[in-house]
Structure 1
Amino acid sequence: ETPYVDNMLWLVDSMIKEHTRSKGIPLVQKQYWPQGQEGAALLTHSVDNLQKWNYTDLLLSLGTDVAMFFTLNWKQLFHTISSKFKYLFTNVELYWNFEEYRALEEASGYRSTFYIAPDKNEYINYSLDDPDLQEEIRQLTRTGNEIGLLLTPDKTNPDDYITRKQVMLHQLHQETIGIRQLHYKINENLRGLHSKLNPAYSQSTALRDMPGYINGVTVPYQPWIGGLSVPWYELPTIYCDAHLRVGRFKTLQLEPAKKLLKKFFQSTIRTRGVFGLDLNLASYYDIPYVKKLYTYALALIKSGGIWVPTANELSQWWHKRNRVTINETEYEISIFFPDNLENFTLKIINIKNIKEILGVPAKVEGNMVSFSNVNADSIAVIRLNQEL
């Protein structure tokens, strides 16, 4: 429940700052996020189920309805039965909720990442060849959202995994793509397959029974697979719809769900980490309050000065940020930018006066130096007054 690694790093960071302050030693620190935001949030949706009912499932579900009746869970039973009548008389697909999520996000000015599987199998009940799904994908990408690859464990050999990646890349006309393992059920064999895919990033790890932090970390990290560090980043997922289910027929009430979300959001942002949120398309219907919960989450993010990129944007930023190098001398700080960057922020500690900044457009506010429109291979030079 606690990002213990990040908390420890925060403690070390505080000790270093206190030591340099007492000694009057200048210190330059990269900020985690482009404009020095308090933290980041990833809005994601797993597209694992697009068909709630077919005629076979309607018949097979009668036993489940009887079991639900004896649990006295009348609200859920009524919700289930009404969904059956809606399907029978209108043929409306209750899990097809792309537009619903998109509308909520657009109202907040945000974009998200949808993880979609490339083929129908025992875990997935839709096909990428579906014209309606292809139109949804086009609409999502036109509006700046991102499509990731949802991987299933039905075929666990490298050739099949690579084929699925190529199918999705062909559909999207892209060269790279990020991945998520279905239901976050990951093992060493699947990690090895992920490594062979060489994805843009992975977002395949999360606690399945409750919100929290895998390995106590809230920021992207490079996992080790087969004794080697991979070149791509694992992005965190902190809170997902599976955490709202407390039994086969029961979910948390709305208010406890909101309190849990707020608790982990605040805990994540306290360490300036990434609040990864995953609400799948089916949960929008199956959990009646998900619209209210997501609206609450978006408002919480909006109020916190949080950066909200797509998963690929965050992965690219973290990679470029790590490549920025800083060289300090007594009266000069030089920063080398190997990549194009729209924004980049430094925190200057124990330095009272900056004489000038050369080479890259920059703005100084307090102890923050913000760079903008940085070209690849640029060098910024911060010249300091000789009196501190």
Structure 2
Amino acid sequence: MIAIYVDNKLKRFDNKIKFTFDFIFNTLGYEFKYIHKLDQLQQNDILFYYGLIEPTIEEAYILAMDRILFYIPVLSELLQPNKLTLEKIKENTEIIKLKRKVPIISDKEIKVPIHYYHKDDLFYGIYKFDIIGNILFNLESSIGIEGVKRDDHGWLSDEDVPFIEFHQEPYVNMLLWLIERCIKDSLQKNGSTFLVKKAYWPSAEVFAASFSYNIDKLQKWSLGRMISSTFEDILIFYKIKYVFNSFLSKMKYLLTNIEEYWNFDVIDQIESMHQISGTYFFGTESNSNKDIDYSIQSSDVHKEVMNNHAKGNEIALLASVNSGKQDILHKQKKKLSKITSDELMGIRHNYFSYDPRITHEFHKKNGFTYNSSIGFHHKNGFLSGLGFPFYQYGSHSKDLRSSFGWHSLELPIIFSDNHLKLSKSSLISYENAQEIVDHLIESVESANGFVSFNYSISNFDEISYNKQLLNYTIEEIRPKNVFMATFMQIAQWWKRRESIEIFDSEDRFYLYFPSKTDKFTISVFGNY
């Protein structure tokens, strides 16, 4: 088992430090415990010491007592992100080379990320930077950095997000990979210890992937939109192709009354061909022109909800823009639950209107299983380098389990087809879109993790190659060793995996399953 000893002088950061260690070892799939005295160590324990002073080799023999020991130095600024400015972050950014390049914050140059000392029964690993503080920084950087301009919901602009040049890399996943790599190295050299690991995914797949669809707009044209669109077309008359296509679209609607945003059949055709299920985010209320333009209670929309639910697709809530700051989610969830009869439900806030400072309380109050509202607003990639499900940190309660970060599971938005638009009338090329998809898949495959591909139903009309790109993405992922599931299935698996306990002694281990689990995989490393 992993045993964690934290320097007593870091007591005031206890909440944050434990939150981070919990994220690390729950994600990696190892059982762990916190100890306050060295005599609490068991024979099969691996000790992680997070402290202010690096133990000497002689002290390591005493601390480890013939066991494996890892020392991690503390960089106190990382535990207090409000003391870090963007300028200071840039000054202290170092790039380390693991399987991929990884940005970290350090107060000194890093030539190698860790040094090993191995002699007789001692294995001593000395990290050369604060890997715990760096992971914490990325978990809370979205709400922790002070003195930076934010939008109405508390988010930094994409360009102000730290390490933005690495936005297509899940660099936190790589830091987790480094921790695990070091553990495996130590177990190979120390012949008296073993460790049991829970696989990330049910059958030890290399990564997980989900596809989702925002049912945002179903009406492309109305009288008002036609008039305003005509004036806009006049202003950009030089973009002949766009203006001509807009004219044809209006004529088609006037002559046939066909809604060009009504693309359920397009998605269904692709999903059926590849035999996959997706997550459909339906809205139930509209309070601004950014919200949905349909009624969930209309017969046609009601029929689409029921048809997709019957096919095994997940139905989740696309919350209205003002729901990020107002306690109105109960009514919105109830309207959708009444149709599907599902009590368990996920949520996504339209237009990233999730406020990390307050919205979590509404999620907790209304019992949402997961939130999928966090991601770059204009780029495709891994916000804060996070390519796993995670719990967002934010509450500073003394009782860790009352911290909202321990309740709201986040499934990040990695790819959004909205980000393929350069403007109202131009897109990135199809070839560039393919390159983005390829890079995201390759990145998450190299370090394991979770990748989501998110489409808006209206964009199957607005983006000429969207259908082709969705089909291409599924074709690229399908042959790989991947766990493909809906968002709800990902969330339920992640929470079920977390609840499974491993108990070990010197020569054996036991598994405890608190609920029925159809598939579960473990690996045993070391001398067993």
Q: Residue 430 of structure 2 aligns with which residue?
A: 254
Matched, 1:8 2:8: no
Q: Among 329, 333, 354, which residue is 1:161 paired with?
A: 329
Name the % identity: 27
Q: Residue 82 of structure 2 aligns with which residue?
A: none
The one-character-per-residue Cα deviations of 1:69-113 (angstroms, maximum 9, x if unpaired) are: 23x3x3322322221111111111111111211210121111000
Q: Residue 103 of structure 1 aligns with which residue?
A: 269
The alpha-carbon deviation at position 213 of structure 1 amounts to 1.3
Q: Residue 386 of structure 2 aligns with which residue?
A: 217
Within-5 A mapping of 1:35-54: 35-54=203-222
User: Rg larger in 1 or in 2?
Assistant: 2
Q: Residue 91 of structure 1 aligns with which residue?
A: 257
Q: Among 377, 381, 384, which residue is 1:208 paired with?
A: 377
Query: Would the aligned equivalents of 2:206 and 2:482 in 1 still touch at CA under 8 Å?
Result: yes
Amino acid at match of 1:6: N
- Distance across 2 between alignment mates of 1:335 and 1:176: 27
Within-5 A mapping of 1:309-388: 309-350=485-526
Residue aligned with 1:69, SS: coil
Structure 1 194/9 Cα, relative in aligned 2: closer, same or farther at 3 Å?
same
Q: Residue 59 of structure 1 aligns with which residue?
A: 227
The alpha-carbon deviation at position 153 of structure 1 amounts to 2.3
- Distance across 2 between alignment mates of 1:120 and 1:157: 15
Residue aligned with 1:107, SS: helix
- Distance across 1 between alignment mates of 2:352 and 2:442: 23
Query: Would the aligned equivalents of 2:324 and 2:354 in 1 still touch at CA under 8 Å?
Result: no
Q: Residue 409 of structure 2 aligns with which residue?
A: 233
Q: Residue 344 of structure 2 aligns with which residue?
A: 176
Q: Among 351, 358, 363, which residue is 1:194 paired with?
A: 363
Query: Would the aligned equivalents of 2:325 and 2:358 in 1 still touch at CA under 8 Å?
Result: no
Residue aligned with 1:12, SS: helix
Structure ranking higher on relative contact order (CA contacts 8 Å, 6+ apart)? 1
The alpha-carbon deviation at position 158 of structure 1 amounts to 5.1
Q: Among 70, 75, 80, which residue is 2:241 paired with?
A: 75
Segments of structure 2 that go 5 or more residues without pairing to the other structure are 1-166, 397-402
Q: Which moved more, 1:131-140 or 1:150-159?
A: 150-159
The alpha-carbon deviation at position 284 of structure 1 amounts to 0.6
Q: Residue 378 of structure 1 aligns with which residue?
A: none
- Distance across 2 between alignment mates of 1:193 and 1:153: 14
The alpha-carbon deviation at position 157 of structure 1 amounts to 6.3
Q: Residue 312 of structure 2 aligns with which residue?
A: 144
The one-character-per-residue Cα deviations of 1:217-246 (angstroms, maximum 9, x if unpaired) are: 111112234432342311011000121011
Residue aligned with 1:315, SS: helix
Residue aligned with 2:335, SS: helix
- Distance across 2 between alignment mates of 1:93 and 1:309: 30
Structure 1 165/213 Cα, relative in aligned 2: closer, same or farther at 3 Å?
same
Q: Residue 133 of structure 1 aligns with which residue?
A: 301
The alpha-carbon deviation at position 339 of structure 1 amounts to 1.3
Q: Which moved more, 1:117-126 or 1:317-326?
A: 117-126
Structure 1 212/335 Cα, relative in aligned 2: closer, same or farther at 3 Å?
same
Residue aligned with 1:341, SS: coil
- Distance across 1 between alignment mates of 2:174 and 2:260: 42
Amino acid at match of 1:231: H
Q: Among 274, 280, 288, which residue is 2:450 paired with?
A: 274
The alpha-carbon deviation at position 159 of structure 1 amounts to 4.7
- Distance across 2 between alignment mates of 1:142 and 1:76: 38
What RMSD in Å do the two structures reach over aligned CA positions?
1.6
The one-character-per-residue Cα deviations of 1:51-76 (angstroms, maximum 9, x if unpaired) are: 10012211121111122323x3x332
Query: Would the aligned equivalents of 1:151 and 1:179 in 2 still touch at CA under 8 Å?
Result: yes
Q: Residue 118 of structure 1 aligns with which residue?
A: 284
- Distance across 2 between alignment mates of 1:172 and 1:69: 46
Q: Among 189, 204, 208, which residue is 1:22 paired with?
A: 189
Normalised to the residue count of structure 2, the TM-score between the two structures is 0.64
Residue aligned with 2:294, SS: coil
The alpha-carbon deviation at position 283 of structure 1 amounts to 0.5
Query: Would the aligned equivalents of 2:387 and 2:444 in 1 still touch at CA under 8 Å?
Result: yes
Moved segments of 4+, more than 4 Å: 155-159
Amino acid at match of 1:202: N
Matched, 1:185 2:366: no
- Distance across 1 between alignment mates of 2:323 and 2:501: 43
Q: Residue 372 of structure 1 aligns with which residue?
A: none
Segments of structure 1 that go 5 or more residues without pairing to the other structure are 352-383
Structure 1 84/267 Cα, relative in aligned 2: closer, same or farther at 3 Å?
same
Q: Among 475, 487, 498, which residue is 1:299 paired with?
A: 475
